[in-house]
């Protein structure tokens, strides 16, 4: 029965990976026995509508998989994917906003190395507070949804709306669905448009900064290192666009975006950041008129120091993301190797 196979495939995605095969084999035997009893009782095979109603009575794939979890979670498997997404978002943006705010504060007040060290030390506490708040909110949603599923339908994550007919076909992973030709073509078209826009920016700064292009009238100017940074960005975009064009020409556009490709693009993003951080004497901005050094030298030094700090933190975040992604790839490869040996 294809619908049952699709149902079991959906259940398997939420099971502990090392026990998936054993659990699915046991569950399949039980469900097939139930199905045979139902069909024997009715004297005929179930219709599609009857089969869907039967599976809905059993429960959603997430609910069924939750029965095989080793322990009760503070945040259950039905809520965890959303919780994990929101947690990563909160931590990432929390780190970015905190870093920018501290860099601006240090630059504006001309603070020294002690303030920089203090800001770096306090960063983990800021992220921990953000994580704690997100965790408490989702734990409350989990408990309310479990205890009052009827009264708090919007907060009942353990009983989400679902339909057996909406289950993905056999062999299709929802997280790695093949791309359509239209989507792949659109990526190439928008890639060309973005590259064209990027090449026009040096001649028409308004395209990037909008009304903020007024900075051109300030007594400061960008250091020559920014030109190298700009051409690194152009090179990375050309590389990515070429990759997409080759995939389209080879007919490989149906393949979902691989984690290896994502990591390689992340690795390339380290180049422009490293170029800025390697600027001589950390001079990212210069004075248009050297004679203004007496009155504006202090502000210039603070701005260079603050931006350099922000870039250092951004580089650290990208490196951590790369390490995390590489670790996930290694864990997946190990799991696949273990599964193949069983």
What is the per-residue pLDDT for 263? 80
Residues 300 and 282: their CA atoms lie apart, in Å, by 11
Report which of residues 327 and 109 the model is more confident about: 327
Put simply, whether the predicted model's pTM sits higher than 0.85 gets the answer: no
45-61 pLDDT, tens per residue?
Answer: 888 888 888 888 887 88
Q: Is 152 a residue whose pLDDT tops 60?
A: no
- H or E segment to which residue 232 belongs: helix 225-249
| pLDDT over threshold 50, residue 114 | yes
Please calculate the CA angle 97-111-92 and round it to the nearest 5 degrees: 15
87 CB-near residues (< 8 Å, 6+ apart): 131, 134, 135
Task: Say which residue the tokens 């007496």 belong to.
Answer: 294
Domain ranges of the chain: 2-66, 80-154, 178-341
Asked whether the beta carbons of 133 and 336 are under 8 A apart, the reply is no
Condensed to tens digits (0 to 9), the pLDDT of residues 315-330 reads 888 888 888 888 878 8
| β-bridge partners, 230 | none
d(CA 261, CA 329): 12
Q: Would you list the DSSP string of 124-164?
A: HHHHHHHHHHHHHHHHHHHHHHHH-TTT-GGG-TTS----G
233, 272 Cβ separation under 8 angstroms: yes
Of the pLDDT bands very low, low, confident and very high (cuts 50, 70, 90), residue 123 is: confident
Q: Is the pLDDT of residue 84 over 90?
A: no
What is the per-residue pLDDT for 153?
47
pLDDT at residue 270 is higher than 70: yes
From the list 200, 178, 180, 184, the residue with the least C-alpha distance to 241 is: 184
Q: How far is 268 from 243, CA to CA, in rounded Å?
A: 14
Min mean pLDDT across 74-78, 126-130, 174-178, 262-266 is at: 174-178
Average pLDDT of the chain to the nearest whole number: 77
Q: How confident is the model at residue 238 (pLDDT cuts 50, 70, 90)?
A: very high
pLDDT band at 148 (very low <50, low <70, confident <90, very high): low
Check whether 21 has a pLDDT greater than 90: no
Q: Residue 75 pLDDT more than 60?
A: yes
**Tell me, what's the pLDDT at 274?**
92
Task: Give, in degrees to the nearest 5, the angle at Cα 75 between 74 and 80.
Answer: 155
Cβ-proximal residues to 242 (8 Å cutoff; 6+ apart), any chain = none
* pLDDT tens-digit map of 293-308: 888 888 888 878 888 8
Ramachandran assignment for 256, one of left (phi > 0), alpha (psi -120 to 50 degrees), beta (any other): beta
Question: Which of 4, 1, 20 has the alpha carbon at shortest distance from 339?
Answer: 20
């Amino acid at each position: 029965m294809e619908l049952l196979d699709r149902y079991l495939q959906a259940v398997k995605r939420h099971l502990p990976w090392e026990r998936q095969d054993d659990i699915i084999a046991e569950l399949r035997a039980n469900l097939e026995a139930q199905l045979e009893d139902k069909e024997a009782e009715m004297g005929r095979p179930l219709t599609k509508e009857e089969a869907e109603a039967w599976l809905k009575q059993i429960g959603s794939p997430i609910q069924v998989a939750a029965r095989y979890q080793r322990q009760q979670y503070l945040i259950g498997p039905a809520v965890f994917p959303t919780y994990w997404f929101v947690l990563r978002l909160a931590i990432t943006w929390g780190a970015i906003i905190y870093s920018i705010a501290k860099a601006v504060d240090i630059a504006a007040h001309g603070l020294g190395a002690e303030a920089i060290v203090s800001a770096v030390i306090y960063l983990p506490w800021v992220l921990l507070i953000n994580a704690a708040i997100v965790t408490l909110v989702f734990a409350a949603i989990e408990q309310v949804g479990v205890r009052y599923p009827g009264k708090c339908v919007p907060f009942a994550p353990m009983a989400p709306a679902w339909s057996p007919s909406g289950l993905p076909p056999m062999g299709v992973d929802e997280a790695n669905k093949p791309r359509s030709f239209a989507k792949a073509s659109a990526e190439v078209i928008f890639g060309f448009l973005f590259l064209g826009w990027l090449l026009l920016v040096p001649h028409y700064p308004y395209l990037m900064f909008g009304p903020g292009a007024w900075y051109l009238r300030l007594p400061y100017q960008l250091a020559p290192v920014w030109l190298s940074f700009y051409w690194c960005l152009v090179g990375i975009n050309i590389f990515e666009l070429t990759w997409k064009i080759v995939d389209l020409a080879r007919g490989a556009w149906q393949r979902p975006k691989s984690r290896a490709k994502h990591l390689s693009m992340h690795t390339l993003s380290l180049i422009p950041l490293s170029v800025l951080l390697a600027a001589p004497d950390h001079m990212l901005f210069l004075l248009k008129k050297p004679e203004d050094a007496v009155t504006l030298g202090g502000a210039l030094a603070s701005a260079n120091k603050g931006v350099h700090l922000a870039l250092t933190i951004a580089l650290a975040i990208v490196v951590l993301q790369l390490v995390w992604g590489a670790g996930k790839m290694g864990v997946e490869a190990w799991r696949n190797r273990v599964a193949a040996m069983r």
